[in-house]
Each structure stands twice: as C-alpha cells, then as structure tokens.
C-alpha cells in the first residue's frame, strides 16, 4: 500500500514538476517511508527545483543508476559505486561538488548560456571561501546555505532565498546571529551583527524590504555575492557610484577626494554611513547644528564658509520654488493657469535635483550657478502665475462695467413698466 | 415697413400669426398681493435656458474622460475666449436654478397651487425638481476635480441602501464598483443626453398645462373675491407681465455676473483616485439636508424614508382633498413650513456641525 502511495506521489509530483523529467527510482524510494525516514529531500526536489525543471535527475549530481533499485526492491542497485555513485559531499566539499557543472562553460551553455561559470573562482576570493579553504572553517556559507539544497530556485524567482529582495534575509540568517558570528573579526575587531537591523532602517532597506523595489541595492550589490567581501575604503565609493554615478564623479573631482584619502576617510560612507544609509537631506550641509560639515570644518575656515554659502544658496532656491509653487497652485485652482507655468516650474525644480548632486563638488561657485538659474526660472514662473491671477482683477472690472449696463437696463425697464401699467386697466375683462 | 408687412404676411399665411398675436394680447395673469411668486416659475425657465445655452458652448471643448476632462475644463478656462465666463455662468446659474426650483415648488405648495385641476402640473413640476437635482449631481463630477470626485463617491454610496437592487443601482451609476473614468463618462451621458431629453418632455408638458389652465389663484384671495372683499384683477401677459419677468431675469443675470467676477468658479485640484479622502467631505448644498439626516438615522431607514417622502410629495394633490374643495388646509401649510424649516436647519447643521 505504501508503495502504491509512493508511486502515486511520484506520478503526481512528476507531472507538477516537469514533463520531461526522467523516471527516477531514487525519487520513488525517497518518497516512501518504507525506505527513508525523511521524504522531504525528494519532495523538495520534484516540487520546482531548477535542476529538475531542466530535466536533470538525482544521478546527474550523485551518480549511480536512477533507473534501477525501486522495482527490484534493492536500493544498492541505484546507489552503486560501480555506476559512479558518490555519497553526498560534506560542507567543505559542496562548492567543488556544484562547480563540477557550474564551472563547466560548455556544459552550462546547454542549460543557460547567460549564467556565469566563475562562481567557484569568485567564491575562493571571498571571505567565506578564504575561511573555508584557508582555515578549514566549515561554519562559513557554502553554496547550499544561500541557494538551498534540493529545492534550488532560480535567482529571479521571488521565492528564492537569493531573489534580490530576499538576500538581506538570507545574509541575516548568519550575520545577525551573535552565536554564529562569535570569533569572527574584521581588522582586529569583532564583526558586528547589527547590519541587517541598520540596513532595514536605511533608505535602501526600506525600498527593498518594505516597498519591494528591486532596483534599490541589496547586500550583494555592494559586497558582491559569490565573491562577497567587506569593501575596502576605495571600493565603498565604487559600489555607491555604480548607481550614484554623478555624485561619484563630482566627488572624485572635488577637493575632498585627496583630503579624505590622506585622512583615511571612507568617502561616501563618511557622511552617509554604510548599512544605515539615511535618506539624504539638505540639513546635512551647512553650518547649522547637526550639519556634517561642522564635524571637520572649524568656524571661519574656508570649508566652513563654503558650506555656509552652498547651504544658503540651496535654501534660497527652495524658498523661491516654494513661493512659485504656491502661486502656480493658486492660479491652477482658480482656473487661470493652463499648464505652461507648471511646466516651467518643473524645469526650475530640476535645478534643485541637479544641485543636490553638484553639491558633491563642494564648490560654492558651481552650486550657486545652478541655484541662481533655478531661482531665475522660479521667479519668472511666479511672475507668469501672478499675471494670470491678475487677469481675475481685469475680469472683475470688465464684468463690473457690464453690471452697470444691466442695472441701467433694469431701471429703464421699470420706468417702461410704470408707463405701460398707467395705460392698463387691471380689472378682469377690461383689457 | 412694407417689407415687414410682407414678411409678417408670409409667416401669417403659414403659422397664423394674427391668431398668435391676438392670443398674446388677451393672455392675462392673475394680479394680487401674492403675484410676486408667479415670476419664480419664469425665472426657473429662464435659468434652464441659460444652462442649455452655456452647456452647449461648454460641450464644444469638454472631453468626458478621466484622462482629459480636467485638462479640457482647464483649457476652457484659460485658452478659450470667455470660456472662464461661460463656465462660471453655467456653474452659478445651475445653483440658482436649483434654488429657484425649490422656491417655486414651496411657493406653489403654500399657495396650494397644486389643487384640482392642476395635479398634473404639480406632478411634472415635482419630477422636474428631481431632474434638476440629477442635473446638479451629474454635472458636479464633470470637471473631474478632487472635491467632485469625493462628493460623487459619498453621493453614489447611498444607492446601496436601495432595497434589493442597491448594489445593482450603485454599479449602474458608477459603471463599476468604484467611481472611475467609467462613472465620469456615464454621468456625462446622463447630464447632456438622458436628463435633458426627459426634462424637455416634462417641461413641455408642464408649460402646456400652465398655458391651458392659467395661473392658480390662492384660496385666500379667491375667498376674498367671492366675499366681495376684493376685486378680481388680471395683468396682461404681454407686455406688462413679460416686462416684469425680464426685470427679474436681468437681475438674476446681473447676480450671476457679479458672482462670476467676485468669486470665479474654481477648478480645484485634479481628481486623484489614490489620494485618501479628507475629513468632512460633503455633497452639494442641495443634498446636505439629506446627508445630515442620514447621520442621525440608520442609513437604510433614511434612504427609504426619503424615497417614500419624495413619492408622497409628488402625489400630494391626491391627498389634499380639502384644498381640492377650495377650503383652506392649515395642516398642509404647517407641513410645508415644517419641511422648509427642516431642510434649512439640517442644511445649516450640515455645514456648521463637525463632519464624520
């Protein structure tokens, strides 16, 4: 009876999994409690594993003969070393086990020509790989920790542990576990375990974890995935610059680049932090309390003056935009603005977006050039909107004049009525 | 003059102008201390015509889709010569129209103008009042601004309370389960085709009956005349009555112009379906008394109650047998005054009291 159930389940899962999947003696046995205590390995494999879906079977990884054993009632026929069967690898052996196929360019081309084949090479350069191969540390992540074992899903599948938005949670499973991370150090200091907590509060974390935005960076975008390492000082800005290219270029040409290099500051991270990257605000700039510039620049220093000037310039642009926005909105609500002022205001607002990038030059001249252009446009927009609002006054005067004519007509008509009434006899039948 | 005579003759041979002129010269309207109320009906007709003319002008540019409606009204107000004025007149005249229709109805009610033989005139008039409210409700959404969108949401929600077919009525009105562009398109259809068609037929019947039966004289005046305490007076329709009508129409037009210039009808912000509704959203002023009432009674009971009251109101002439006999019916006068007081008080509460 149990065998019948196993056969039924095999057929069922096989039909769900892949029509092209070969008949497998391994799966029949591994789904049957007659043969194994834990049936989840086989159940996992036939319920959507990418290898299974690609037409591969147990023997493609584990060797042996998957066509024999179940019918005969002898599992040794399947797990036959003479037919190439190998016992599952231990943790240290897993990367090489997977790499037998995944590092074989010709083999991988048949299944997914786009998939890279340098994972093992990269892995060896990662902290994980170095620990594993250099120090025989089997606590570090190997392929299966991130990808799963028998239910490996493609990284584009939102259920996968390596799906972009799931990666922070995957890394967290080890890196937020103080017990697991105990003893690991970076630059002589214990590796913290609060990265996930910090990341989840950061602008990137909010976008990835709460808003499901898969354009915002996950752990691997800065640290790499198979070659995961802590980025060094220079590569932090390289990682940020992958997305924030303009800011990176402006910074690289700024006086801060060399100065910070000499002082050993980590570029972007110095102001924006690393895992807990706050949403940027204009208040980071300037000389008011809480400004980041004050952390290095003393009162009356050149940098202090520059910070003060740049902040004032941006504030002026924001104030001009605010006034223009209010005037345009009033004109829109009153129905005297047809769209041109709104369009031009959009151009003025672009200046604010641009200057927030250009501020990374830390050059007041470049900053004020953009803010001045923005202020000029905003003021022109305001004038246009005010002129439109002024039309209401013109209309009121025009309509006031027409009202006088109406009243004049009414008075004349009332006089006419009096004349007509004088000639009329209101008694019934007399007119 | 000879040409005019020839033209007159040409038309006279075809449409019997002589007879029409004779008719106009002999048409009279009762003249007494309550005569002022007779001009209210003419005012309603005048404002209706203003609505038709300005509505047709707006139609030349208006686009009834969620994507283009707001922008087309914006275009009318900013680019079309005098488009802003036409829209303001249409909006203010619409509100004045509904106000005068209410005034007309209550004045007729209190003077018992609905009594025999004018029952059909009353019924067509009461139905025209409902149509006027329908015009207001459907037209309010058309600029597709946020306030109108939310008010339509609130207003159409009450349709669910209609017994048995509420959900169907709601979906019929909205063109789906929510207020969307589909609602806008069908409200446009109601506003410019369905309602005007019905209104024209009802208005035609209403005017025909007024013409055939003449104006009703209040019972109190009739009694005074019959007792010899007053003389029966009549005023020629043309030109005496018509001149007075024109005075009223001119003043109404002046008022609309004044309002349009001092408080141009605003466009508001474009409707945003995803934007959360602000608190205290209200329907248009002429629905506020009902909206406020429904806050105090179970909604289903309230909606059912208004439907019954509306039905009774339409068929009122058949209940007031006393007035039909020419006797003064104090109870109905009290009911009428109570209805006015109730509507005014609840409208004020609706605007003054904090909303939900």
pLDDT confidence band for A18 (50 / 70 / 90): very low
Q: How far apart are CA A372 and CA A316, in angstroms?
A: 9
Q: Does residue A212 have a pLDDT over 60? A: yes
Q: Does residue A349 have a pLDDT over 70? A: yes
Supply A68's token pair.
Answer: 């024999």
* Residue-level length of chain B: 356
Question: Using the 8-state DSSP alphabet, how is residue A361 labeled?
Answer: G
**Residue A84 Ramachandran class (φ > 0 left, ψ -120 to 50 alpha, else beta):** left
A169 occurs within a structural domain: no
A335 occurs within a structural domain: yes
pLDDT at A327: 95
A362 occurs within a structural domain: yes
Q: Determine the average pLDDT of the residues in A247-276.
A: 88
Using one digit for the tens of pLDDT, what is the confidence trace for B295-349?
899 888 888 899 999 999 999 999 999 988 888 899 999 999 999 999 999 999 9
User: Quick check: helix, strand or coil at residue B114?
Assistant: coil
A389 occurs within a structural domain: yes
pLDDT at A179: 95
φ, ψ of residue A427 in degrees (nearest 5): -70, 140
Distance to chain B for A409, nearest Cα, Å:
8
Contact at CB, A413 and B75, closer than 8 angstroms: no
Report the mean per-residue pLDDT for chain A: 88
Q: Determine the average pLDDT of the residues in B235-260.
A: 93
Contact at CB, B78 and A403, closer than 8 angstroms: no
Q: Does residue A237 have a pLDDT over 80? A: no
pLDDT at A73: 85
Q: How far apart are CA A22 and CA A17, in angstroms?
A: 11
Q: Does residue A187 have a pLDDT over 90? A: no
Residues near B96 by beta carbon (within 8 Å), at least 6 away in sequence: B47, B252, B255, B256
Question: Which of B264, B265, B267 is CA-nearest to residue B74?
Answer: B267
Paired residues of B235 in beta bridges: B29
Q: Does residue B3 have a pLDDT over 70? A: no
**Residues of A with CB below 8 A from B75's CB?**
338
**Higher-scoring residue by pLDDT: A5, B260:** B260
Using one digit for the tens of pLDDT, what is the confidence trace for A56-107?
989 999 999 888 888 888 888 889 899 899 888 999 999 999 999 999 999 9
Q: Determine the average pLDDT of the residues in A202-218.
A: 92
User: Quick check: helix, strand or coil at residue A115?
Assistant: coil
**Cβ pair A401, B261 in contact under 8 A:** no
Measured CA distances, A351 to A50, A321, A340 (Å): 48, 10, 17
pLDDT at B281: 79
A230 occurs within a structural domain: no
Task: Tell me which residues of chain B have a C-beta less than 8 Å from any C-beta of chain A.
Answer: 28, 31, 71, 73-75, 77-79, 84-85, 87, 231-236, 239-240, 243-244, 246-247, 250-251, 253-254, 257-258, 260-262, 264-269
| Number of Cβ pairs < 8 A linking chain A and chain B | 98
Q: Determine the average pLDDT of the residues in A411-419.
A: 96
* Residue-level length of chain A: 431
Contact at CB, A334 and B266, closer than 8 angstroms: yes
pLDDT confidence band for A429 (50 / 70 / 90): low
Q: Does residue B93 have a pLDDT over 90? A: yes
Partner-chain residue, chosen from B235, B236, B266, that has the shortest CB–CB distance to A333: B266
Q: How far apart are CA A104 and CA A113, in angstroms?
A: 11
**Cβ pair B44, B101 in contact under 8 A:** yes
**Residues of A with CB below 8 A from B243's CB?**
413, 416-417, 420
Place of tokens 């996930």: A196
Give me the long-range contacts of B307-314 (CB less than 8 A, separation at least 24): B307/B162, B310/B130, B313/B126, B314/B122, B314/B123, B314/B126, B314/B127
A51 occurs within a structural domain: yes
A309 occurs within a structural domain: yes
Paired residues of A427 in beta bridges: B233
Distance to chain B for A401, nearest Cα, Å:
10
pLDDT confidence band for B120 (50 / 70 / 90): very high
User: Quick check: helix, strand or coil at residue B270?
Assistant: strand
Place of tokens 């601004």: B145
Distance to chain B for A399, nearest Cα, Å:
6
pLDDT at B354: 66
- Last residue of a domain, which of A88, A106, A133? A88
Q: How far apart are CA A390 and CA A334, in angstroms?
A: 11
Q: How far apart are CA A310 and CA A365, in angstroms?
A: 9
Q: How far apart are CA A181 and CA A184, in angstroms?
A: 6
pLDDT confidence band for A20 (50 / 70 / 90): very low
pLDDT at B100: 97
Q: Does residue B285 have a pLDDT over 70? A: yes
Supply B275's token pair.
Answer: 């934007």
In the stretch 337-396 of chain A, residues with CB closer than 8 A to chain B read 337-339, 388, 392, 395-396
Q: Determine the average pLDDT of the residues in A412-424.
A: 94
Using one digit for the tens of pLDDT, what is the confidence trace for B20-58?
888 888 899 999 999 999 999 999 999 999 999 999 999
Supply B60's token pair.
Answer: 């030349």
Contact at CB, B264 and A392, closer than 8 angstroms: yes
Report the mean per-residue pLDDT for chain B: 91
Percent of chain B with pLDDT over 70: 98
**Residue A53 Ramachandran class (φ > 0 left, ψ -120 to 50 alpha, else beta):** alpha
Partner-chain residue, chosen from B71, B231, B261, that has the shortest CB–CB distance to A399: B261
Full set of structural domains in chain B with CATH: 26-267 (1.20.810.10)
Percent of chain B with pLDDT over 90: 71
- Last residue of a domain, which of A34, A68, A88? A88
Q: Does residue B235 have a pLDDT over 50? A: yes
Q: Does residue A7 have a pLDDT over 70? A: no
Cis peptide bond upstream of B117, omega within 30: yes
Count the Cβ atoms, other than its own, within 10 Å of residue B205.
Answer: 17
- Last residue of a domain, which of A21, A56, A88? A88
Place of tokens 């283009």: B68
**Cβ pair A297, A303 in contact under 8 A:** yes
**Cβ pair B312, B319 in contact under 8 A:** yes
pLDDT confidence band for B278 (50 / 70 / 90): confident
**Cβ pair A383, A337 in contact under 8 A:** no
**Cβ pair A163, A155 in contact under 8 A:** yes
**Cβ pair B90, B61 in contact under 8 A:** no
Q: How far apart are CA B337 and CA B339, in angstroms?
A: 5
Partner-chain residue, chosen from A335, A402, A427, that has the shortest CB–CB distance to B233: A427
Using one digit for the tens of pLDDT, what is the confidence trace for B180-226?
999 999 999 999 999 999 999 999 999 999 999 999 999 999 999 99
**Structural domain count of chain A:** 2
Please state the ipTM of this predicted complex: 0.85
Q: How far apart are CA A105 and CA A116, in angstroms?
A: 8
pTM over cut 0.90:
no
Partner-chain residue, chosen from A335, A400, A421, that has the shortest CB–CB distance to B77: A335
Domain span at A19: 1-88
Distance to chain A for B249, nearest Cα, Å:
10
**Cβ pair B89, B50 in contact under 8 A:** yes
> Would you call A278 an interface residue with chain B, using a CB distance cutoff of 8 Å?
no
**Cβ pair B118, B317 in contact under 8 A:** yes
Using one digit for the tens of pLDDT, what is the confidence trace for A146-164?
999 999 999 999 999 999 9
Partner-chain residue, chosen from A334, A339, A406, that has the shortest CB–CB distance to B253: A406
φ, ψ of residue B30 in degrees (nearest 5): -55, 145
Helices in A126-165 by DSSP H: which ranges?
127-135, 143-147
Question: Which of B347, B339, B335, B341 is CA-nearest to residue B293?
Answer: B347
Count the Cβ atoms, other than its own, within 10 Å of residue B84.
Answer: 23
């Amino acid at each position: 009876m149990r065998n019948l159930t196993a056969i039924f389940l095999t057929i069922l899962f096989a039909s769900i999994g892949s029509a092209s999947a070969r008949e497998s003696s391994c799966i029949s046995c591994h789904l049957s409690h007659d043969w194994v205590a834990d049936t989840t390995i086989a159940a996992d494999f036939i319920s959507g594993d990418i290898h299974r879906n690609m037409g591969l079977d147990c023997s493609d990884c584990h060797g042996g003969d998957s066509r024999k054993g179940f019918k005969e009632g002898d599992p040794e026929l399947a797990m036959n070393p003479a037919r190439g069967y190998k016992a599952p690898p231990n943790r240290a052996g897993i990367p090489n086990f997977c790499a037998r196929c995944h590092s074989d360019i010709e083999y991988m081309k048949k299944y997914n020509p786009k998939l890279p084949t340098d994972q093992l090479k990269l892995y060896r350069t990662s902290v994980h790989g170095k620990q594993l191969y250099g120090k025989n540390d089997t606590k570090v992540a190997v392929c299966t920790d991130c990808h799963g074992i028998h239910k490996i899903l493609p990284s584009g599948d939102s259920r996968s542990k390596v799906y972009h938005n799931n990666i922070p949670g995957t890394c967290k499973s080890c890196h937020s576990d103080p017990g697991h991370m105990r003893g690991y150090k970076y630059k002589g200091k214990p590796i913290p375990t609060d990265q996930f907590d910090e990341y989840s509060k950061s602008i990137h974390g909010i976008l990835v974890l709460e808003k499901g935005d898969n354009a915002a960076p996950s752990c691997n975008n800065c640290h790499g995935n198979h070659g995961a390492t802590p980025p060094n000082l220079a590569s932090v800005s390289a990682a940020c610059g992958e997305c924030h290219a303009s800011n990176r270029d402006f910074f690289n040409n700024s006086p801060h680049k060399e100065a910070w290099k000499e002082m050993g500051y980590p570029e972007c991270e110095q102001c924006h932090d690393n895992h807990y990257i706050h949403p940027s605000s204009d208040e980071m700039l300037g000389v008011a309390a809480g400004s980041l510039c004050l952390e290095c620049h003393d009162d009356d220093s050149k940098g202090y003056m520059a910070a003060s000037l740049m902040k004032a310039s941006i504030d002026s642009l924001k104030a001009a935009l605010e006034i223009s926005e209010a005037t345009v909105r009033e004109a829109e609500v009153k129905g005297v603005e047809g769209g041109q002022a709104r369009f031009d205001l959009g151009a003025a607002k672009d200046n604010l977006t641009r200057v927030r990038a250009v501020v990374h030059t830390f050059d007041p001249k470049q900053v004020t050039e953009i803010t001045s252009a923005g202020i000029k446009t905003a003021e022109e927009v305001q004038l246009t909107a005010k002129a439109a609002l002024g039309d209401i006054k013109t209309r009121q005067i025009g309509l006031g004049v027409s009202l006088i004519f109406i009243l004049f007509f009414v008075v004349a008509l009332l006089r006419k009525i009096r004349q007509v009434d004088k000639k009329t006899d209101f008694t019934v039948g007399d007119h | 003059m000879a040409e005019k005579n020839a033209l007159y003759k040409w038309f006279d041979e075809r449409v019997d102008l002589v007879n029409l002129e004779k008719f106009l010269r002999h048409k009279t309207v009762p003249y007494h201390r309550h005569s002022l109320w007779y001009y209210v009906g003419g005012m309603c007709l005048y404002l209706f015509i203003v609505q038709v003319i300005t509505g047709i002008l707006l139609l030349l540019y208006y686009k009834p889709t969620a994507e283009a409606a707001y922008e087309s009204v914006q275009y009318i107000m900013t680019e079309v010569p005098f488009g802003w004025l036409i829209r303001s007149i249409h909006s203010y005249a619409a509100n004045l129209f509904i106000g005068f229709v209410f005034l007309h109805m209550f004045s007729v009610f209190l003077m018992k103008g609905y009594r025999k033989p004018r029952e059909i005139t009353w019924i067509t008039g009461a139905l025209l009042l409902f149509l006027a409210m329908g015009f207001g409700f459907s037209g309010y959404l058309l600029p597709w601004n946020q306030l109108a969108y939310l008010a339509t949401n609130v207003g159409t929600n009450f349709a669910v309370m209609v017994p048995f077919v509420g959900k169907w009525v709601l979906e019929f009105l909205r063109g789906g389960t929510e207020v969307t562009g589909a609602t806008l398109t069908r409200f446009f259809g109601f506003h410019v085709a369905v309602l005007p068609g019905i209104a024209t037929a009802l208005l035609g019947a209403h005017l025909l009956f007024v013409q055939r039966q003449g104006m009703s004289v209040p019972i109190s005046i009739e009694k005074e005349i019959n007792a010899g305490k007053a003389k029966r007076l009549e005023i020629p329709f043309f030109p005496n009555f018509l001149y007075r009508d024109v005075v009223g129409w001119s003043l109404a037009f002046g008022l609309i112009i004044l309002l349009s210039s001092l408080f141009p009808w605003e466009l508001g912000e474009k409707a945003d379906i995803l934007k959360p509704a602000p608190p205290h959203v209200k329907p248009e002023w002429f629905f506020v008394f009902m909206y406020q009432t429904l806050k105090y009674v179970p909604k289903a009971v309230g909606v059912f109650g208004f439907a019954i009251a509306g039905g009774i109101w339409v068929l009122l002439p058949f209940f007031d047998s006393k007035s039909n006999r020419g006797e003064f019916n104090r109870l109905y006068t009290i009911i009428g005054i109570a209805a006015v007081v109730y509507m005014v008080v609840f409208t004020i509460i609706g605007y003054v009291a904090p909303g939900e």
